[in-house]
Amino acid sequence: MLKIPLVEPGTVGPCPVASDALQGIKRQQTNPARWNGAGWPAFVATLRAGGVELAEGSVACGVYATDAGGTAYGLPHGVVIARNAGQVSFLLKTAQTHRVPVTVRGGGLTTEGESVAFGGVLLDMIGMSRVVSIDAAGLTVRTEAGIFWHSLAEELRRENLDYLSAPLNMTSSVGGTLGVGGIDVNSARLGCSADQAISLQVVTPSGEIVECSDSENGELFQRVILGYGQFGIITEATLRIRPYTPLRMYYYYYSSLRVAIEDLQILDRNDASDYSGILTIMDCAVNLLVAFDSDEREAAFHAHWKSRLRGYGETGFALCMAGHYALRPWKFREALYLLQRKREVFPEFRRAEYMRDKKMYDRTVVFSRAVWKHWGSKQMVIPDLATPADKFIEAVERGNAVCRKYFTHYTLYCVGIKLRPEHLPHYEMSCIPPGAEGWAYGCEFEPMIEGGIYSRDHFQSFKNAIYDIGVDMGASYYRFGGMMKGYIRRVFGDALVDRHLAMKRKADPAMILNRDVIF
């Protein structure tokens, strides 16, 4: 047998080929090999003796074979459904002793295999999905971290309350979201979902149950928030909430990405709306959506900002498009696609059951339904770029060119994220790009797969082309873990990554927790 040198997780091995081979690319395996199962029987025996229920076999494990990305496949050796912090603590302590990898899964909405277990234990957090308490006066909620956002919203609505910001896909879990960010169409005003966390109950990789916040165990809090699951499992979270309000939404249409983004940034900089974002059909129809929680804010927008926007209304834009395609008859297929997409998607945002007096009464459901129905497919390929405000237009335009090269149809989703100066330590080595001040901007580049069949290599080449732009521009990414982790050292630099790796090794000596996600 060939002697294959062991490479410690997170380290970059030597390259005997040549220093200038694969320029810029770190010598790091990014698609994980299956864990070899050493010590599994003893581990299982210890767990079961401790009263932890662990399911084995293809039926139990097969459910977790992939994630929303649908391009990474792996099977755990066994599955544990999370029940309480004590059970999770015992699991991690035992896993440390036996050096068994533990992969944590919430909604499984990762796209790069981050919540796929390549052997070891898969810990499914959906067993911890209760709302613990709601403080209506103090506007906070304490919830178990495996809860989906839509379930949390449902509980809060009974009290006429609402979460502050959450990802548009409501089947993501609270714990998973706090670990990566969570971007909403109000993030330009309120920050990302992770910014709404006041305190957390965390089980550390060595099995300690710790309550942490900015004032208590602050260092752990900083690492767990936006920490991609490396420094602990969030079992409970206290979040800021707000009184529930319906919202009124307006749509402005552009044929230029640049102009639409400039207008979006004007609105964000001037706090002119409560919600803002851009959703496109390729780069042909660019929709700037603007929404308001209150009549006062809406009136202020109409008085001061509406006239400055360069977008069209629906009818005006339709006329523009008609003129555009009349002069370019060879693009009739593109025109037909726009028309078809408009007919399918637009009514989804105006469904009568969610609208009263032209106000949207349940954006949670409206957006989540629309996302799954019109953007989701068996495979979700959504590479993204996150940049400071001044670099955003260039990043989107370059990413758009890549989309055009690889796919016929695609959509772009752009949104701003208000940065909170007091949370700067949270943002280190996260989707918040280094150097961003005030706002960061993110764009997702999502091909419309529409039943098409592509190889993983095709998707990977597309994602690499987008991520290479990020390396070139000094940006960051929302989805940089799992199969894309080869980009982490490229964008953040060795010094920062090595510092985090040292912290990880200290916290997780056997490197068991979410082993293949970041390091």
User: Which parts of this chain interact with other proteins (CB under 8 A)?
Assistant: 1-5, 7, 13-18, 20-23, 25, 27-31, 33-34, 73, 378, 452-458, 461, 483, 486
CB of 1 to other proteins, least distance (A): 7
Nearer of residues 27 and 150 to other proteins, judged by Cβ: 27
CB of 93 to other proteins, least distance (A): 29
For the chain, what is the largest distance between any 2 Cα atoms, rounded to a whole number of angstroms? 76
CB of 119 to other proteins, least distance (A): 10
Nearer of residues 116 and 220 to other proteins, judged by Cβ: 116
The residue among 342, 469, 349 whose CA lies nearest residue 403 is: 469
CB of 101 to other proteins, least distance (A): 15
CA 183 distance to own-chain centroid: 7
CA 117 to each of CA 49, 192, 264, 459: distance values in angstroms, whole numbers, following the listed order: 24, 27, 39, 21
Q: Is 145 left (phi over 0), alpha (psi -120 to 50) or beta?
A: alpha
CB of 73 to other proteins, least distance (A): 6
Nearer of residues 22 and 326 to other proteins, judged by Cβ: 22
Nearer of residues 21 and 326 to other proteins, judged by Cβ: 21
Residues 6+ apart with CB under 8 A from 50: 90, 94
C-alpha–C-alpha distance, residues 241 and 402, integer Å: 39
CB of 39 to other proteins, least distance (A): 17
Nearer of residues 31 and 97 to other proteins, judged by Cβ: 31
Task: List the structure tokens of 475.
Answer: 């940006």
DSSP conformation letters of 442-485: EEEEEE--TT----HHHHHHHHHHHHHHHHHHT-B-SS-SGGGG
CB of 506 to other proteins, least distance (A): 25
Nearer of residues 39 and 246 to other proteins, judged by Cβ: 39
Cβ(417)–Cβ(276) under 8 Å? no
Nearer of residues 33 and 132 to other proteins, judged by Cβ: 33
C-alpha–C-alpha distance, residues 54 and 57, integer Å: 10
C-alpha–C-alpha distance, residues 148 and 153, integer Å: 9
CB of 464 to other proteins, least distance (A): 9
Torsion angle, alpha carbons of 79, 484, 194, 279, to 10? -120
Q: Is 357 left (phi over 0), alpha (psi -120 to 50) or beta?
A: left
Nearer of residues 30 and 193 to other proteins, judged by Cβ: 30
